[in-house]
Amino acid sequence: MVNVPELFGSLVFDERTMKERLPKQTYKTLKKTIREGKPLDINVANIVANAMKDWAVENGCTHYTHWFQPMTGVTAEKHDSFINPNDDGTVIMEFSGKELIKGEPDASSFPSGGIRATFEARGYTTWDPTSYAFIKDGSLCIPTAFCSYTGDVLDKKTPLLRSMEAISNAAVRVLRLFGDKETTRVITTVGPEQEYFLIDKAMFDSRKDLTYTGRTLFGARAPKGQELEDHYFGKIKDKVSAFMKDLDTELWKLGIYAKTKHNEVAPAQHELAPIFTTTNLATDHNQLTMEMMKRIANRHGMECLLHEKPFAGVNGSGKHNNWSISTNDGRNLLNPGKDPYNDHQFLLFLVAVIKAVDEYQDLLRISAASAGNDHRLGANEAPPAIVSMFIGTDLEDILEAYLAGRDYNAHVAEKVKTGVEVLADFNKDTTDRNRTSPFAFTGNKFEFRMLGSSDNISCPNIMLNTMVAEELTQFADELEQAENFDEAVVELIKRTYREHKRIVFNGNNYAPEWVDEAERRGLMNLRTTPAAVAHYIDQKNEDLFKKHKIYSTAELHARYEILLENYSKIINIEALTMIDMAKKDIIPAVSKFVKELVETASAKKALSAEITAELEVELAAKLSKLQLCFSKRIDKLDALLIKAGDVTGKQELANYYADEVFPAMQEAREVADEMEMSMDAKAWPYASYGQMLYSVK
């Protein structure tokens, strides 16, 4: 039996441990640092570091590492041992405040978007005391921010912390206007729901495409996919269940609030949702969750796929970023309460989000843009590439009533009658959910649903925090000057909703008519990563990030370039992998199989003139034709990759990969999949979709 409360956070140097292990005064100073973002004195840091080291060593650690999130999208760590030599040749375990606060990894090989030339390889990592240190794999991990020698940010954590500060400052100003004198800080909270696939490890290892790119580049559809909808919330298989239990335990030890787990829509697809927490922590935790998923799957002889589209023809994986704003004493500012119609403060925060989503649609789209996620957005499973928002019929009615200057009659919660005596009737939510909306209000939070499963959630939250900070700042600027505050608020709510209601769409986002309707409304439809990312450096976005001190011009341009470069590199690797698989495995396999067919045909003919070898002959002919066509398409792909060398400009190159290379890959795949369908399963060089999707029992 696991004792969850005891287990929970046992590998984290959290408040409980700090309190236990630090002198009272040190604990107090440290808490002040954490709460108020005060700089940490070196003497305090020395005491904290020593206590951390003792705790870590008692828990089996020999090393420590600054754990950071460079712009690769994954976390990075470089381990140093605690040992320090004594004069007599022995060693002691030491960890200083300096080592805790600052690290100097050679940063030259992390993407910097040209900010830092390779000869200026120095980068600094600095401890983020708002995120607790933890133990992973025998190392004490210190969550850190990462910047260059010149102070430019090179990571995803620093801008996130900056954006949290920006929204806090702006929101507190607005709260003051409503007479709130207590709130000193406002924080954003996030609960990220994480989707993933589990397949047999040996099958994963046998496929170069999965190994190199995380997704299948070839593969004919299995006879059964998700059409019966029998996997969603279905019974969890024993092996998966054992994995999930193990995962929960490991996550709990790391202080991660793993809460909900269930099967998802596609076969072999599952989901994990944690209980929400501060955005900064939620981001660190989500990165750790993804890492643990992969590691623990391996322990169980499986591979966890976090790619957005590992298999064509069945749903891909996303991540839902549930986001809200609350005060430092835990009041959720997006909670509509009992009487939202008369709650001007709530309505003002609501229209701030509406205005933000409308004005910065492109930033939200960019935050979900990646080569992997391009397979989902716009397909019939994830929200479309068009950003719109759902606020529910109740809130829409309220805002419409404001516009029309009429009263609003609250919908009375109806009882749902189950018609069965022993089952209690229950109150119906006054508004249904909209599962197709990319940005949906779900009771007391917004759910941003465009994210890909492998995304680091810092980017969407940087965008969200910053854009809402901007709107709240504008509101505060205006309202602080108002002569009659109450009237001014109502006017502002009305005006903002009128000007930005085009972004509100409560209908079916998958319907083809929505594309036309959205265009009429003037909403953006950015279909591919290069098309979306192009807007990152638009003047209005640069102004936004500079005003709120999130990114300098150089930092913004660096990010823009990294996204584009990353996209081009991914498509290039995928194309190269395809060519490799085609030439080394698929084409030879088809030749071999055709040879077998021909041999069988002649053996049959030799046996007797009466026996027909029509089947073998026809099949051999068909496959030979397809094989030739395939080989030509692969050659074309090869030629396109060579031509890519001539394309200048990062944006142009990314466009080239999207417009020329990607379609050529699709064309090659089509033929390969057709050949797979016509071949002996044993003759095909790779595990089939059917085998992979139903590989875990």
Other beta carbons within 10 angstroms of residue 36's beta carbon come to: 9
Q: Which of 123, 159, 255, 274 binds ligand ADP (CB under 6 A)?
A: 274
Q: Which of 269, 322, 461, 473 binds ligand ADP (CB under 6 A)?
A: 322
| Partner interacting with residue 378 (select from Mg ion, ligand ADP, none; CB below 5-8 Å by kind) | none
d(CA 653, CA 333): 44
Place of tokens 């055709």: 594
Q: Which DSSP letter does residue 106 get?
A: B
Does 336 sit near ligand ADP (CB under 6 A)? no
Stretch that binds Mg ion, among 33-41, 237-245, 315-323, 453-461 (CB under 5 A): 315-323
Residue (330 or 405) nearer to ligand ADP, CB: 330
DSSP letter for each residue of 459-494 = HHHHHHHHHHHHHHHHHHHHHHT-SSHHHHHHHHHH
Q: Which of 157, 207, 307, 320 binds Mg ion (CB under 5 A)?
A: 320
Does 328 sit near ligand ADP (CB under 6 A)? no
- Nearest residue to Mg ion, by Cβ distance, number only: 320
Q: How many residues does the structure list for the chain?
A: 697
Least spacing, CB of residue 413 vs ligand ADP, in Å: 18
Token pair for residue 234?
Answer: 């279905």
CB hemisphere CA count around 552 (13 angstroms): 8
d(CA 158, CA 37): 13
**Bridge partners for 270 per DSSP:** 196, 263
Count residues near ligand ADP (CB under 6 A).
Answer: 16
Mask for 190-209, x = binds ligand ADP (CB under 6 A): xx-x----------------
Does 445 sit near Mg ion (CB under 5 A)? no
Residue (103 or 316) nearer to Mg ion, CB: 316
Does 276 sit near ligand ADP (CB under 6 A)? yes
Least spacing, CB of residue 260 vs ligand ADP, in Å: 6
Using alpha carbons, select from 593, 580, 598 the residue that is nearest to residue 684: 593
Mask for 171-200, x = binds Mg ion (CB under 5 A): ----------------------x-------
Token pair for residue 641?
Answer: 């990759």
Provide φ and ψ at 475, rounded to 5°: -60, -45
Residue (249 or 332) nearer to ligand ADP, CB: 332
| Partner interacting with residue 445 (select from Mg ion, ligand ADP, none; CB below 5-8 Å by kind) | ligand ADP
Applying the rule CB under 6 A, the residues between 245 and 264 that interact with ligand ADP are 260
Applying the rule CB under 6 A, the residues between 443 and 482 that interact with ligand ADP are 444-445
Residue (171 or 293) nearer to Mg ion, CB: 293
Element (H, E) at 81: strand 76-81
Does 275 sit near ligand ADP (CB under 6 A)? yes
Does 374 sit near ligand ADP (CB under 6 A)? no
Least spacing, CB of residue 435 vs Mg ion, in Å: 8
Using alpha carbons, select from 674, 680, 686, 687 the residue that is nearest to residue 586: 686
Contacts of 164 by beta carbon, 8 Å cutoff, 6+ apart: 187, 188, 279, 280, 465
Applying the rule CB under 6 A, the residues between 164 and 193 that interact with ligand ADP are 189-191, 193
Residue (323 or 341) nearer to Mg ion, CB: 323
Answer for the pair 258, 14: CB distance below 8 angstroms, yes or no. Answer: no
N-to-C CA span, the chain: 25
Using alpha carbons, select from 2, 450, 511, 416 the residue that is nearest to residue 192: 450
| Partner interacting with residue 274 (select from Mg ion, ligand ADP, none; CB below 5-8 Å by kind) | ligand ADP
Count residues near Mg ion (CB under 5 A).
Answer: 2
Does 280 sit near ligand ADP (CB under 6 A)? no
Element (H, E) at 576: helix 553-581
Phi-psi region of 41 (alpha: psi -120 to 50; beta: other; left: phi over 0): beta
Residues that bind ligand ADP (CB under 6 A): 189-191, 193, 260, 273-276, 320, 322-324, 332, 444-445
Residues that bind Mg ion (CB under 5 A): 193, 320
